[in-house]
Amino acid sequence: MLRGEGRFLVDGTPYEYNGNTLLFLSPFQYFQWTEASIKETMLLQFHGDFYCIEYHKKEVACNGLLFNALFLQPHIAVQEAVFDEIALLFGRIEEELASTDEYSEAVLRSYLQLILALSSKAKSLQITDVPSPLNHNLLTDFQQLVETHFITQRDLPFYAEALHLSVDSFSKKIKRQLGKTPLQLLQERLILEAKKQLHLTYKSIKEVAYYLNFDDPFYFSRFFKKHVGVSPKEFRESVGISIVAEKSM
């Protein structure tokens, strides 16, 4: 939670905020301040073993909205009342962390889920306003193409042709709208799927590599480390294997 104004980078992409802001980051995302005048800040971190956003997606559909949202900004501006309500929940979490009551874990999980639900509600209301209809159609069509073909098609000409654009025009339009190139978005989608497979399944790293259409598991590991900063093995050791994987067995 941020109150003030400033600029920052998330995975190399620049963003700026002003006013009451909620920022959401996933494990191993790179964050860096470039300029800031912060009046107030609050930080909440939670592990997937404590609250799995994929397991609870029916209650709070925040995966792909607050977290892992390649085509959306990682932050949202909120009204004073929403900011204060979530700040109050932060305070209650801090108080509950000091408790040794047998119900504390359930209470903490409920507070966290309420924070995510309020944040998801605020963001879902905002994204209906932008961008303009023409660009929105382009982004929607591109996003659908990426979701359908990102494992088998990684060349820009395929997507540009499907959208009836030249590669140059296609790249410029996407970059102008999202601050990222189409290639960056394709790579990020591939990395996101790799993270999901490592965290939400019991597939071996070799199996994940082949599932993602990498001929060489060693190349997959190098690709993953280049974009995430750690190897697939180190990533899995850090985040663990989710309860979702256990439920699917």
Q: What is the pLDDT of residues 19-59, one digit of tens each?
A: 999 999 998 898 999 998 888 899 999 988 899 888 888 88
pLDDT over 90 at 159, yes or no: yes
188 and 215 co-located in one domain:
yes
197 and 143 co-located in one domain:
yes
237 and 142 co-located in one domain:
yes
pLDDT over 70 at 248, yes or no: no
156 and 103 co-located in one domain:
no
85 and 39 co-located in one domain:
yes
Question: pLDDT tens for residues 183-193?
Answer: 999 999 999 99
Q: Which of 97, 126, 155 is the last residue of a domain?
A: 126
Distances (CA, A) of 66 to 53, 69, 125: 10, 6, 13
- Read off the pTM: 0.80
- pLDDT band, very low/low/confident/very high, at 246 (cuts 50, 70, 90): low
**CA–CA separation, 94 and 51 (whole Å):** 17
141 and 116 co-located in one domain:
no
Question: What is the predicted pLDDT for the residue at 80?
Answer: 96
Cβ pair 44, 93 in contact under 8 A? yes
150 and 172 co-located in one domain:
yes
179 and 114 co-located in one domain:
no
The radius of gyration of the chain's CA atoms, rounded to the nearest angstrom, is 19
6 and 77 co-located in one domain:
yes
9 and 121 co-located in one domain:
yes
pLDDT over 60 at 129, yes or no: no
60 and 109 co-located in one domain:
yes
Range of the domain at 235: 133-247
What is the chain's mean pLDDT, rounded? 91
Considering its fold, how many domains does the chain have in total? Answer: 2
